[in-house]
Amino acid sequence: MLLNNRYRILRTLGSGGFGETSLAEDTQIPSQRLCAIKQLKPIHNNPQVYQLVQERFQREAAILEDLGGSSDQIPTLYAYFQLDDRFYLVQEYIEGDTLTAKLRQHGVLSESTVADILANLLPVLEYIHSKHIVHRDIKPDNIILRYQDGKPVLIDFGAVRETMGTALNSQGSPTSSIIIGTPGYMPSEQAMGRPIYASDLYSLGLTAIYLLTGKSPQELQTHPTTGEIVWHTHATNISVTMAAVLNRAIAYHPRDRFSNAREMLQALQTGNLFIPDTAPLTQPPSFPPALPTKSQETHLFNLGASSRETALQNNGQRGILALSIIAAAGLIGASVIIGLALTRTPQAVEQPSTSLGTPSSAQNTPKPTRQNVNKANFPHAFYFLADSAYPTSQTALMQVKALQAVGYPQAGMFWILEYPNLSDKELFSVYVARFSDRNKCIELLKTYGQVNSNAYCAFASKDPNAPPERLFFKEISTSSSGIFRDAIATQNNYSWLSQREVTDADLDGKDGFELDIMRNAIYARHGRRFKAFGLQKYFDGQPWYRPKYSPDNFPNELLSNLERWNAEYINKYQDRYNRRYFR
């Protein structure tokens, strides 16, 4: 028996409340290719509703056709039709295993494998969201690892099923009578019928956690005070970067998550968690990209230990897997850079007494809560070298452990509200070390700031009338002569900017310093001088630099059209992501 006089049903692939999906072969083409046929039936048996469903079904089919035709990680729509009171979608059949099947066959996946999956899926989500579409049902069962090339393919968009749940409200207007999504993988705003783009990132984050731990969301506990999902106890040898990325993806409130898929991908690749303006943070998390060389060893940090664990070598890795390696290098790989760039003496850092804020061993550090942070044994006032601030103790503690792992045993955290001269925000401040003397803090800032340019020395006081004193690294450093920045100059003079167009791929992962150097190198190669002292000092140290023109008298016609385009492109990129170093 042929369906629609064309498709021979071979077997049922799955079924649910909306219908069933079958494997079929197309008898009207020579290859008799296999296809997946999804049969759907409206929930409400009402002629007026049926007409609305018909219209919506046609619209959603057109969207699926557009999506599948533009991405090879979304099944191609071959056809759609209606028979009796049912609606049918004929789609490309993806030969492969769902992530659920993959985990059941092989057990929990390695971090590198999960990072590879995320790095392949996030661009797909970015594309879907650019079309103003929210998938709404991302979960392990709806992601297939294709046998052909190992790529993850996203299936079963929720909008089609929502169409089948169309109903009329009391005013006679069409509405949806159902909530699309899977319990556990669905965030609170989606459960209330208000999905947003960050809802998909939440579901993807929990999918990754399932792959790393083997635990479904329902099997994971939540913190009784904060409501945070506690998953780290089920995962081993997870890098700080991966843990921080997933924690932010599954934050309870959407404003605390990544604002888009691109931002999450950049954090995964670089280890730099870009904090949105709406998040209640005073400083972005530390360790911008540490500029590792391709041969540099990367370290992953075991959350349950106080020592570093050697995990991956960049050599021999392939394709997109290298992204996860660079991501880890952005945090823990900074230890290599610190060993070269920082020249602090042990005497310059005061060894504080053991307390929650200054754990003597990362392995024995208790998991902080607001209550026991308030009881921490801190002095009435002190100076501290600030690294970052976080709204949750769990994420702050991971950063403390990361700092301890790369050679800062004094690193700790404290509850900002205990020191009212700092802020009235409920944040956990992560510090590298604390001091009784301001000058000692500044001395360490001069070197530590070369690794985290957002670091600053601050005065914490329980006296609310004390001034909120802060001294940022950028305020005390007018040049960038640090060893790791000098390495940039010797490795790349950016002459290629005169030969081809720059792309986002060339710029992603670079901090404000390197982007400023790239953009101004275009002018420097034609002999321009610069008003910014640090910028001029940088190019004065380049063997190819031959200054001829003052900043105000530089003849722009020396630039080719390509060079002008590249300079403007980098400039707009820096504005878009607020990445500048020289002001």
Question: What CATH architecture is 483-577?
Answer: Up-down Bundle (1.20)
Structure-model confidence comparison of residues 232 and 522, the more confident one: 522
pLDDT tens readout for residues 326-363: 344 344 344 433 333 333 333 334 433 323 333 333 33
pLDDT at position 437 over 80: yes
C-alpha 495, offset from chain centre? 31
Q: Which is more confidently placed, 168 or 140?
A: 140
pLDDT class of 39 with cuts at 50, 70, 90 = confident
Options 26, 116, 137, 516, the catalytic residue = 137
**Dihedral sign computed on CA atoms, order 193, 194, 196, 202:** negative
User: Which pLDDT score, from 0 to 100, does residue 216 have?
Assistant: 94
pLDDT confidence of residue 34: 95
* Nearest 10 degrees: Cα torsion 525, 528, 533, 534: -10
| pLDDT band at residue 495 under the 50/70/90 scheme | confident
Q: What is the pLDDT of residue 377?
A: 56
pLDDT in tens, 378-402: 788 999 999 888 887 777 887 888 7
State whether residue 404 is helix, strand or coil.
Answer: helix
Residues 503-528, mean pLDDT to the nearest whole number: 87
Question: Is residue 118 within 8 Å of 250, Cβ to Cβ?
Answer: no
Q: What confidence tier does 457 reach under pLDDT thresholds 50, 70, 90? A: very high
In this prediction, residue 319 has a pLDDT band, given cuts at 50, 70 and 90, of: very low
Residue-level pLDDT at 436: 87
Mean pLDDT score of the chain: 75
102 HSE (CA, 13 A, CB side): 25
Which of residues 507 and 511 earns the better pLDDT score?
507
Residue 131, by phi and psi: left (phi above 0), alpha (psi -120 to 50) or beta? Answer: alpha
Q: Which residues pair with residue 168 across a beta bridge? A: 174
What class has domain 343-474?
alpha beta
Concatenated DSSP letters of 66-102: HHHHH-TTSPPEEEEEEETTEEEEEEE---EEEHHHH
Q: What's the pLDDT score for residue 282?
A: 26
CA–CA gap between residue 131 and residue 124 (Å, rounded): 11
What is the average pLDDT across 450-458?
83
Burial of 577 (0-12, 13-18, 19+ CB in 10 A): middle
Please check whether the two domains, 96-157+178-338 and 343-474, share a CATH topology: no
| Average pLDDT estimate for 489-508 | 76
pLDDT digits (tens, 9 = 90+) for 143-189: 999 999 999 999 988 777 777 766 656 566 666 656 777 889 999 89
**CA nearest 243: which of 324, 356, 314?**
324
> Is 137 an annotated catalytic residue?
yes
Query: How is the chain split into domains, by residue range?
Result: 2-92, 96-157+178-338, 343-474, 483-577
CA–CA dist 294, 110 (Å, integer): 22
pLDDT at position 397: 81
Question: What sign has the CA pseudo-torsion 174, 179, 181, 186?
Answer: positive
Mean pLDDT of 37-66: 80
In this predicted model, which residue has the larger pLDDT, 573 or 577?
573
Tell me how far apart the alpha carbons of residues 138 and 157 are, in angstroms, rounded to a whole number: 8
At residue 545 the predicted structure's pLDDT band, cuts being 50, 70 and 90, is confident
pLDDT grade for 215, boundaries at 50, 70 and 90 = very high
What's the confidence (pLDDT) of residue 278? 31
Distance CA 539, CA 522 (A): 11
E strands within 262-320? Answer: 297-301, 308-313
Joined tokens for residue 377: 């044994």
Q: Which residue has the tokens 């992953």?
A: 300
Q: What is this structure's pTM?
A: 0.51
Averaged pLDDT, 48-66 = 81
Q: Quick one: pLDDT at residue 490?
A: 40
Residue showing tokens 């899977």? 182
Main-chain phi, psi angles of 198, to 5 degrees: -65, -15
Domain 2-92 bears CATH identifier 3.30.70.890: no
Confidence class of residue 269 from pLDDT cuts 50, 70 and 90? confident
* Dist CA 426 CA 424 (whole Å): 7
pLDDT, tens digit, 9 for 90 and up, residues 552-575: 899 989 999 899 999 999 999 888
- Was domain 96-157+178-338 assigned CATH 1.10.510.10? yes
